[in-house]
Amino acid sequence: MNETLRLGSIRGIRIGVNWTVLVIFGLILLGLATVQFPLLFGDLPPIVSWMAGLVAALTFFASLLAHELAHALTAQRYGVRVDGITLWLFGGVARLRDEPPTAGADLWIAAVGPLTSLALGAVFGVAALVAGLLELGIVALGVLGWLAAINVVLAVFNLVPASPLDGGRILRGILWKAHGDRHAAAVTAARAGRVFGFLLIGLGVAQVIFVPGLGGLWLALIGWFLTNAASAEEQHAHVQGRLGGITVADVMTPDPIVVRPDITVASLLDDYVLRNRCSAFPIVDVHGRPAGLITLAQIKHLDPEQRVATLVSDIACQDDEVPRAHPQEPVMSLLPRMQGCTNGRAIVVEDGHLVGIVSPTDVTRMLELTELLRGGHLPGARPPSARPGDPTIR
Ligand SMILES: [Zn+2]
């Protein structure tokens, strides 16, 4: 989820909002100010409902942020790097850069979110009680009561054992701990997520048919989002299961053909592209150090008449735009970085020297190989089930 506006950062965690948050904020404010609060407040003027709605909605988004911050800070405690938190249409997301290291970490990083929401629900609930006892008025009671209820609802909904909801992650952690197989656990939690998503779509459609209002549409939309996210997670878990234990060195094309940055595009075409079968060429400087990468797609975008006058370095991806990997790095940790300027390619560097290149085709080929030789041995690569140093059980 892209960040439209950055709000700041807490302990190195970027906090931002996507513009779609305005939609959900508007819906909540509208519901509170025009339906719920007027019913509760009776004869009080509409401006009171609007002001109370604004305070309640803003405090709710602060509660949501606290929920996500709990995930992010716990993740950091387990050594998991956090890219940031974004509030958007369906609430909040804390973007973790690494996978949780253990089943226990997976479980706790997930559980602290709903626990935070439950705690906030309790705090607002007690505050509402106190407001009632002190006779602070119906407005304070209404706002605090709603905040208590919505935080509890948020916690309960998130505890449904279906990925990508927190409950799904908790289920994954428990199954992982019980059976020792992280990927199988992730697949089960993601499948539960798809089932739950379809269930919500069904409920939403039924509500649209039988109950007036937009509630059903919203439910179906959440269901659709969950189904998609769960499917993506299941696929990711499958890939992870198959590529686990496979390093960048196993999939890379070693010693790729390299070009200098100061040759023209015309000579690149004549001397390299037409003589080789590669569709991307890493660029190295006079010292042999990586200095970018050029792809056929970039050459295609250049006007043919400009080829003689244009240098490779003028149109190539610059060095800082080219994803880098170490040969011994797990290929799974490289995958998320294989995007941007290079059309999915990454260079492999060891001790400052270019030793290989990885393209999406290399990864797909390895996936097909592991599928083909499941249970057997991969030529030149270890089977995914046996990591080096793992004890072999027979
Ligand atoms: Zn959460």
Judge if 252 and 297 occupy the same domain.
yes
Same domain for 217 and 285, yes or no, is no
Residue at 153 is within a domain: yes
pLDDT tens for each residue of 109-132: 999 999 999 999 999 999 999 998
Strand-pairing partners, residue 259, are 283
Whether residue 205 is found in the same domain as residue 257:
no
Considering the domain architecture, whether residues 203 and 78 belong to the same structural domain is answered as: yes
Q: Is 145 exposed, middle or buried (0-12, 13-18, 19+ CB in 10 A)?
A: buried
Q: Which residues face 85 on adjacent strands?
A: 15, 94
Query: Quick check: is 384 in a domain?
Result: no
Q: Over the chain, what HEC string results? A: CCCCEEEEEECCEEEEECCCHHHHHHHHHHHHHHHHHHHHHCCCCHHHHHHHHHHHHHHHHHHHHHHHHHHHHHHHHCCCCEEEEEEECCEEEEEECCCCCCHHHHHHHHHHHHHHHHHHHHHHHHHHHHHHHCCCCHHHHHHHHHHHHHHHHHHHHHCCCCCCCHHHHHHHHHHHHHHCCHHHHHHHHHHHHHHHHHHHHHHHHHHHHHCCCCHHHHHHHHHHHHHHHHHHHHHHHHHHHHHCCCEHHHHCEECCCCECCCCEHHHHHHHHHCCCCCCEEEEECCCCCEEEEEEHHHHHCCCHHHCCCCEHHHHCECHHHCCEECCCCEHHHHHHHCCCCCCCCEEEEECCEEEEEECHHHHHHHHHHHHHCCCCCECCECCCCCCCCCCCCC
Ligand 1 centroid distance, CA of 122 (Å)? 17
Residues 168, 205 within the same domain: yes
Q: Which residues surround ligand 1, an ion (CB under 5 A)?
A: 113, 166
- Residue 382: predicted pLDDT: 44
Ligand 1 center–CA 164 separation, angstroms: 9
Q: Peptide bond preceding 164: is omega within 30 degrees of 0, i.e. cis?
A: yes
**CB-based contacts of 297, cutoff 8 Å, min separation 6:** 343
Does residue 161 sit in the same domain as residue 186?
yes
Task: Find the range with the poorest average confidence among 184-193, 240-249, 262-271, 284-293.
Answer: 240-249
**Ligand 1 center from residue 110 Cα (angstroms):** 6
pLDDT for residue 374? 66
Question: In terms of domains, do 162 and 310 share one?
Answer: no
**Separation of CA 158 and ligand 1 centre (Å):** 6
pLDDT of residue 2: 75
Residues 164 and 234 in one domain: yes
pLDDT of residue 166: 94
293 has a pLDDT exceeding 50: yes
| Tens digit of each residue's pLDDT (9 = 90 or more) over 203-244 | 999 998 998 777 788 889 999 999 999 998 898 888 878 887
Q: CA torsion 20→24→27→33, rounded to 10°? A: -120
Nearest C-alpha neighbor of 244 from the set 334, 358, 332, 335: 332
Q: How many domains does the chain have?
A: 2
Q: Picking from 113-122, 348-357, 366-375, which range would have the lowest pLDDT averaged per residue?
A: 366-375
Taking only the tens place, the pLDDT of each residue in 37-69 is 988 888 888 899 999 999 999 999 999 999 999
Least trusted range by pLDDT, from 261-275, 306-320, 326-340: 326-340
The Å distance, Cα 167 to ligand 1 centre, comes to 9
- Residues 53 and 182 placed together within one structural domain of the fold: yes
Same domain for 71 and 162, yes or no, is: yes
pLDDT at 66: 95
CA gap 363, 339 in Å, rounded: 13
Q: What integer pLDDT is reported at residue 119 of this predicted model? A: 98
218 in a domain, yes or no?
Answer: yes
The residue assigned the tokens 């960040």 is 3
Residue 150 CA to ligand 1 center (angstroms) comes to: 14
Classify residue 87: in a domain, yes or no.
Answer: yes
Beta-bridged to residue 350, according to DSSP, are 353
Query: At 387, is the pLDDT very low, low, confident or very high (cuts 50, 70, 90)?
Result: very low
* 83 and 230 share one domain: yes
- 284 or 367: which leads in pLDDT: 284
**Averaged pLDDT, 281-306:** 91
Give the residue numbers spanning the domain of 63.
5-243
- Per-residue pLDDT at 43: 83
Q: Quick: pLDDT tens for 2-41.
A: 777 888 888 888 899 999 889 989 999 999 999 889 888 8
Q: What was the pLDDT predicted at 258?
A: 93
Binned at pLDDT 50, 70 and 90, residue 392 comes out as very low
pLDDT of residue 393: 32
Q: How far is the CA of 166 from the centre of ligand 1 (A)?
A: 5
Tell me what the mean pLDDT of segment 83-106 comes to: 88
Q: Which of 227, 243, 259 is the last residue of a domain?
A: 243
Same domain? 117 vs 194: yes
Catalytic residue numbers read: 68
Residue 329 Cα, ligand 1 centroid: separation in angstroms?
A: 30
Residue 144: pLDDT over 90:
yes
32 found inside a domain: yes
For the chain, the average pLDDT equals 88
What's the gap in Å between 187 CA and the centre of ligand 1?
19
User: Residue 1: its pLDDT value, please?
Assistant: 67
Is pLDDT at 377 greater than 80 in this prediction? no
Return the CATH number at 329: 3.10.580.10
Q: Is the CB of residue 163 less than 8 Å from the CB of residue 193? A: yes
Alpha carbon of 67 to ligand 1 centroid (Å)? 6
